[in-house]
């Protein structure tokens, strides 16, 4: 009894501390704890809650790590329709809007009007519902009347309070978005062909994921811009934004009260450049009447309120000159044409390079060297060449020639039939590929070796001190000291960083190996199903295909990778160098009760979904299959099993119920 009382007190104290530091970190951007210290607090809380599950509450910060799997999102009706805004790209139309509102209000006998100008965040609109202070629902806009209930995913977003100090039924609307840095990190962790084009797409895709633990890893943010249901029915909008902040929401704080049209124009002009310096993407300015009493007077059309408008900044474009096209060789040998541009100022930075993606893109643009081109920055973080000014083609324009040989190592290039890209087949020796693999190995989603940057990798490869990641673990300080821009201290730092990286998680290592199509998420699934590299190497393509998320293409790529002598050498060196090649104790499953067994699930289980059940089997050494044969070791039959059960019985395969299965676990 005293234990639980003590635990309850400690839990309350930890939650308060975590919430406080979370607010400092995410909302105020003034952290007082290191990430490590913060994680330790969260770990303590989770350990206590695990010990005393009755003390878990829905508003506990532990609930943000996700875990719930939603099979299908339920449709819910909004308290009031979620309208959109009328959009304009023209300052003239903003003026018309301002004058129209003035006239309409004058008809109602109102002669004072002030507007709140806010930044328009580029994300996905969401409605949050709080009852008696607790977050009870998070929903997408959907068709404006009904949206999807995505509460488990919403709970994972750190800037969304799980509890607020205000009773009754409160609705908060705003935009879920991804900070540029979080977006880049997410994209870095994904195989190239699965990368998102911009933070908005990444956000939209992530909010719809069924696995909320994966949503939690995606690091999304929320900005609040609308509050309803408070007791002061007519609290002006500006005050509502301030109230949202008091309740713990992030608003961005870049709003301003505008009494004259002049103030609005000033706000728009000020942010047209300044917005590029923000850590997230904004695409315009939203103007809202400040007096909520006036909202009612003006009303709304079917689509949008008459008391607000969104001004969108025009896409940022600039003309420049294509000086040259160079060809970069990636870590997988792919040749990417890159435009070298006359430096030009665009969207808050100077642009002198831009990817042309592949040779089809060059053909599509019809681009020639020395052409005048237009570059654009819209939703994407990196600007791109969008067109050629053909009328201004100079007489010395030169066609872009597809190289026949690798610009790095001179090997003749090849092109796979189904692919748009050329590649250098000299995997083992091409210095560009070696450098690319090393940089991938040390990148932040992989082994995160900060002191091993591009300049150092260039040198290590150039003087042939390092040929693969395995060589890194045999580097000695004296070899490094005399390299350019190194010295004693830097050499020591690198050796220490490498030492630390030896114990990085097995999951990170799997990703760091740079297997084609294997991003962080796939590496995680692999590390669960095969908790050691030795087990993974032995897995067949067919076996790998049963791992969640892994299809035949990825399975093939994994087997292909491990079959190569170069991979075997690399793994030997990593092993000799002391790198961790299996999951640590805490992540390894408790037993190997399903070692060597093939298991088939049929019908619906009550306590697990298919994926969870499969993971439990695989984590214990078993394999999950989709069809029954005489060789199948076990069939787990849930509710309404299919014809597979009949087959199993016919073959005399052992059949168990869900509870028997649980016992076996």
Catalytic residues: 120
Angle at 126 between CA 123 and CA 128, to 5 degrees: 145
Of 281, 167, 172, residue with least CA distance to 231: 167
Closer to ligand IVH by Cβ: residue 21 or 141? 141
CA–CA dist 223, 250 (Å, integer) = 5
Classify residue 188 as exposed, middle or buried by CB count within 10 Å of its CB (0-12, 13-18, 19+): middle
Q: Treating both helix axes as pointing N-terminal to C-terminal, what angle do 199-207 and 180-188 enclose, rounded to 10 degrees?
A: 70
Work out how close the CB of 612 gets to ligand IVH at its nearest, in angstroms, rounded to a whole number: 34
Which of these segments, 24-32, 54-62, 93-101, 120-128, binds ligand IVH (CB under 6 A)?
120-128
Cβ(448)–Cβ(501) below 8 Å: yes
Contact residue for ligand IVH among 87, 185, 272, 633 (CB under 6 A): 87
Contact residue for ligand IVH among 73, 121, 250, 313 (CB under 6 A): 121
Which of these segments, 24-32, 119-127, 159-167, 513-521, binds ligand IVH (CB under 6 A)?
119-127
Of 318, 330, 403, 322, residue with least CA distance to 366: 322
Closer to ligand IVH by Cβ: residue 38 or 177? 177
**What Cα–Cα distance (Å) separates residue 634 from each residue in 107, 601, 625, 638, 663?**
78, 9, 10, 13, 14
Kindly state whether residue 479 participates in binding ligand IVH, applying the rule CB under 6 A.
Answer: no
Kindly state whether residue 615 participates in binding ligand IVH, applying the rule CB under 6 A.
Answer: no
621: left (phi over 0), alpha (psi -120 to 50) or beta: left
Token pair 């949503």 in the structure block, residue: 215
Work out how close the CB of 162 gets to ligand IVH at its nearest, in angstroms, rounded to a whole number: 23
Closer to ligand IVH by Cβ: residue 121 or 359? 121
Closer to ligand IVH by Cβ: residue 24 or 83? 83
Number of chain residues interacting with ligand IVH (CB under 6 A): 15
**What Cα–Cα distance (Å) separates residue 647 from each residue in 375, 638, 658, 661?**
62, 15, 19, 19
Instruction: Map residues 172-211 to x or -, x wherever contact with ligand IVH holds by CB under 6 A.
Output: ---x------------------------------------
Kindly state whether residue 490 participates in binding ligand IVH, applying the rule CB under 6 A.
Answer: no
Kindly state whether residue 310 participates in binding ligand IVH, applying the rule CB under 6 A.
Answer: yes
Tokens of 35: 């990430």
Closer to ligand IVH by Cβ: residue 83 or 497? 83
Site for ligand IVH in 499-518 (CB under 6 A): none
**Residue 19, Cβ neighbours under 10 Å: how many?**
17
The alpha carbon of residue 98 and the mean position of all alpha carbons in its chain are separated, in whole angstroms, by 39
Contact residue for ligand IVH among 27, 286, 515, 547 (CB under 6 A): 286
Cβ contacts of residue 508 below 8 Å, gap of 6+? 445, 446, 447, 448, 523
Work out how close the CB of 379 gets to ligand IVH at its nearest, in angstroms, rounded to a whole number: 13
**Residue 563, Cβ neighbours under 10 Å: how many?**
10
Closer to ligand IVH by Cβ: residue 127 or 334? 127
Please compute Rg for the chain using Cα positions: 29
The alpha carbon of residue 503 and the mean position of all alpha carbons in its chain are separated, in whole angstroms, by 25
Site for ligand IVH in 339-358 (CB under 6 A): none
Tokens of 635: 């069939």
Kindly state whether residue 306 participates in binding ligand IVH, applying the rule CB under 6 A.
Answer: no
Cβ(652)–Cβ(629) below 8 Å: no
Work out how close the CB of 141 gets to ligand IVH at its nearest, in angstroms, rounded to a whole number: 7
Work out how close the CB of 285 gets to ligand IVH at its nearest, in angstroms, rounded to a whole number: 8
Kindly state whether residue 295 participates in binding ligand IVH, applying the rule CB under 6 A.
Answer: no
518: left (phi over 0), alpha (psi -120 to 50) or beta: beta
Work out how close the CB of 221 gets to ligand IVH at its nearest, in angstroms, rounded to a whole number: 13
Closer to ligand IVH by Cβ: residue 153 or 602? 153
Which of these segments, 53-61, 77-85, 182-190, 237-245, binds ligand IVH (CB under 6 A)?
77-85
Contact residue for ligand IVH among 7, 8, 55, 83 (CB under 6 A): 83
Kindly state whether residue 313 participates in binding ligand IVH, applying the rule CB under 6 A.
Answer: no
Closer to ligand IVH by Cβ: residue 121 or 327? 121
Contact residue for ligand IVH among 84, 132, 293, 629 (CB under 6 A): 84
Instruction: Map residues 206-235 to x or -, x wherever contact with ligand IVH holds by CB under 6 A.
Output: -------------------xx---------
Kindly state whether residue 130 participates in binding ligand IVH, applying the rule CB under 6 A.
Answer: no
**Residue 510, Cβ neighbours under 10 Å: how many?**
24
Helices (H), 89-198: 91-107, 151-154, 180-188
To the nearest 5 percent, what fractions of the chain are helix, strand and coil? 40, 20, 40
Kindly state whether residue 115 participates in binding ligand IVH, applying the rule CB under 6 A.
Answer: no
- 388 beta partners: 373
Closer to ligand IVH by Cβ: residue 115 or 325? 115
Cβ contacts of residue 597 below 8 Å, gap of 6+? 617, 621, 622, 623, 633, 634
Closer to ligand IVH by Cβ: residue 174 or 333? 174
Kindly state whether residue 170 participates in binding ligand IVH, applying the rule CB under 6 A.
Answer: no
Kindly state whether residue 298 participates in binding ligand IVH, applying the rule CB under 6 A.
Answer: no
Work out how close the CB of 627 gets to ligand IVH at its nearest, in angstroms, rounded to a whole number: 46
Kindly state whether residue 125 participates in binding ligand IVH, applying the rule CB under 6 A.
Answer: yes
Residue nearest ligand IVH, Cβ-based: 125
CA–CA dist 430, 436 (Å, integer) = 10
Kindly state whether residue 120 participates in binding ligand IVH, applying the rule CB under 6 A.
Answer: yes
Binding positions for ligand IVH, rule: CB under 6 A: 83-85, 87, 118, 120-121, 125, 175, 225-226, 286, 305, 308, 310
């Amino acid at each position: 009894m005293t234990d639980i009382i003590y635990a309850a007190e400690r839990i309350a104290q930890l939650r308060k501390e975590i919430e406080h530091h979370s607010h400092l970190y995410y909302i105020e951007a003034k952290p007082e704890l290191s990430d490590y210290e913060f994680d330790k607090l969260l770990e303590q809380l989770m350990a206590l809650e695990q010990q005393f599950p009755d003390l878990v509450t829905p508003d506990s910060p532990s609930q943000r790590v996700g875990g719930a799997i939603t099979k299908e999102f339920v449709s819910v009706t909004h308290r009031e329709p979620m309208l959109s805004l009328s959009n304009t790209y023209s300052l003239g139309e903003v003026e018309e809007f301002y004058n129209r509102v003035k006239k309409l209000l004058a008809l109602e006998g109102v002669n004072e009007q002030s507007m709140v100008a806010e930044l328009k965040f580029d994300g996905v609109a969401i409605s949050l519902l709080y009852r008696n202070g607790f977050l009870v629902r998070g929903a997408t806009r959907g068709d404006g009347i009904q949206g999807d209930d995505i509460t488990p995913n919403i709970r994972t977003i750190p800037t969304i309070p799980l509890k607020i100090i205000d009773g009754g039924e409160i609705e908060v609307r705003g935009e879920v978005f991804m900070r540029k840095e979080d977006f880049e990190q997410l994209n870095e962790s994904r195989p190239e062909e699965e990368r998102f084009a911009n933070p908005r797409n990444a956000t939209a895709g992530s909010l719809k994921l069924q696995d909320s633990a994966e949503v939690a890893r995606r690091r999304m943010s929320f900005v609040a811009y609308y509050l309803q249901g408070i007791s002061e029915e007519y609290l002006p909008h500006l005050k509502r934004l301030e109230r949202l902040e008091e309740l713990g929401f992030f608003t961005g704080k870049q709003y301003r009260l505008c009494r004259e049209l002049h103030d609005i124009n000033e706000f728009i002009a000020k942010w047209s450049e300044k917005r590029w310096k923000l850590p997230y993407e904004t695409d315009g300015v939203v103007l809202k009447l400040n007096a909520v009493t006036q909202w009612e007077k003006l009303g709304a059309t079917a689509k949008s309120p008459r008391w607000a408008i969104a001004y969108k900044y025009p896409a940022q474009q600039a003309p420049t000159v294509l000086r040259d096209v160079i060809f970069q060789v990636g870590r997988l040998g792919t040749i990417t044409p890159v435009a070298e541009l006359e430096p030009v100022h665009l969207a808050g930075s100077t642009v002198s390079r831009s990817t042309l993606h592949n040779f089809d893109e060059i053909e599509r643009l019809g681009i020639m060297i020395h052409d005048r081109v237009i570059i654009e920055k819209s939703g994407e973080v990196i600007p791109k060449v969008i067109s050629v000014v053909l009328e201004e083609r100079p007489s010395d324009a030169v066609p872009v020639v597809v190289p026949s040989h690798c610009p790095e190592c001179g090997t003749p290039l090849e092109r796979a039939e189904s692919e748009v890209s050329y590649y250098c087949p000299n995997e083992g020796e091409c210095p560009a590929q070696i450098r690319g693999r090393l940089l991938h190995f040390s990148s932040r989603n992989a082994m995160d070796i900060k002191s091993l940057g591009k300049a150092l990798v260039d040198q290590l490869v150039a003087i042939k001190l390092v040929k693969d990641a395995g060589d890194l673990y045999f580097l000695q300080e004296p070899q490094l000291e005399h390299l350019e821009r190194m010295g004693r201290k830097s050499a020591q730092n690198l050796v220490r960083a490498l030492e630390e990286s030896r114990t990085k998680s097995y999951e990170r290592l799997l990703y760091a190996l740079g297997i084609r199509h294997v991003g962080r998420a796939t590496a995680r699934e692999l590390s669960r199903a095969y908790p050691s590299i030795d087990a993974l190497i032995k897995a067949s393509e067919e076996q790998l295909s049963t791992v969640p998320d892994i299809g035949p293409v990825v399975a093939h790529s994994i087997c292909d990778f491990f079959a190569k002598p170069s991979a075997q050498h690399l793994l030997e060196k990593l092993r000799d160098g002391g790198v961790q090649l299996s999951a640590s104790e805490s992540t390894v499953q408790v037993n190997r009760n399903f070692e060597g067994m093939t298991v088939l699930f049929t019908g619906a289980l009550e306590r697990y979904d298919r994926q969870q059940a499969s993971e439990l089997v695989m984590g214990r050494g078993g394999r999950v299959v989709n069809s029954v044969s005489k060789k199948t070791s076990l069939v787990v039959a849930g509710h309404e099993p299919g014809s597979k059960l009949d087959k199993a019985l016919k073959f005399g395969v052992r059949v168990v119920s869900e509870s028997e299965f649980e016992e076996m676990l």
